[in-house]
Amino acid sequence: MGKILNDMQAFKDSLELTKPRITLLALLTAAAGYVLAPGPFENAPFFWTLLGVALLVAGAGTLNMYLEREVDRLMERTSTRPLPQGRLSPDWSLGLGSLLIGLSLPMLYFGARPSAALGGLLSLMIYVLIYTPLKRKSSLSLWVGAIPGAAPPLIGWIAAAGRVGLA
């Protein structure tokens, strides 16, 4: 019974790494972008777009928690997260984030459109490589963070329409 409880806690902690509320919001806005885009609605690309965006955002959130694990120990609001508490290993979170991202990009590329995958990759790079380290150093991080924050509906739109634009 103890192993099952430990496994359940590890699952819950792993899920927390993916920032499920943010992932859900990204999923909803990607769906809105897809549905509002001009052109015919196609079920399969819609499915792959949503799954790809969900995994991409979950992976990015996981990598963000991996990169911030030392700082998270120092802040009351974040000190109870799985990595600062030692409930999950940094290697696990790095592997999980990498796996989620590694699954998401081919889904977007082959299931939706290559341009949707490119948008996802650029958004990921801005979020993980620029926004995450910058947010402790400058208020400019708010402007930088707006780019990946706005990416899910744009990715949905691009996946449906093939380009950015109204016509």
Q: What is the pLDDT of residue 3?
A: 59
Kindly report the CATH number assigned to the domain that includes residue 105.
1.10.357.140
For residues 96 and 81, is the Cβ–Cβ distance under 8 A?
no
pLDDT digits (tens, 9 = 90+) for 34-46: 999 998 999 999 9
For 71-75, which contacts have Cβ atoms below 8 Å and span 24 or more sequence positions? 71/136
Q: Mean of the pLDDT values across residues 47-72? A: 96
**Is there a domain that residue 13 lies in?**
no
Quick count: other Cβ atoms within 10 Å of Cβ 72? 18
Quick count: other Cβ atoms within 10 Å of Cβ 45? 18
Q: What is the pLDDT of residue 5?
A: 58
Q: What is the pLDDT of residue 1?
A: 52
Q: Tell me how far apart the alpha carbons of residues 69 and 66 are, in angstroms, rounded to a whole number.
A: 5
Domain count, the chain: 1
Dihedral sign, Cα of residue 78, residue 79, residue 85, residue 86: positive
**Is there a domain that residue 28 lies in?**
yes
In this prediction, what percent of the chain has a pLDDT beyond 90?
74
**Is there a domain that residue 149 lies in?**
yes
Domain hosting residue 101, numbered range: 21-161
Q: pTM for the whole thing?
A: 0.92
Kindly list the distances between the CA atom of residue 61 and the CA atoms of 34, 66, 100, 123, 157, in Å, as whole numbers in the listed order. Answer: 22, 9, 10, 12, 22
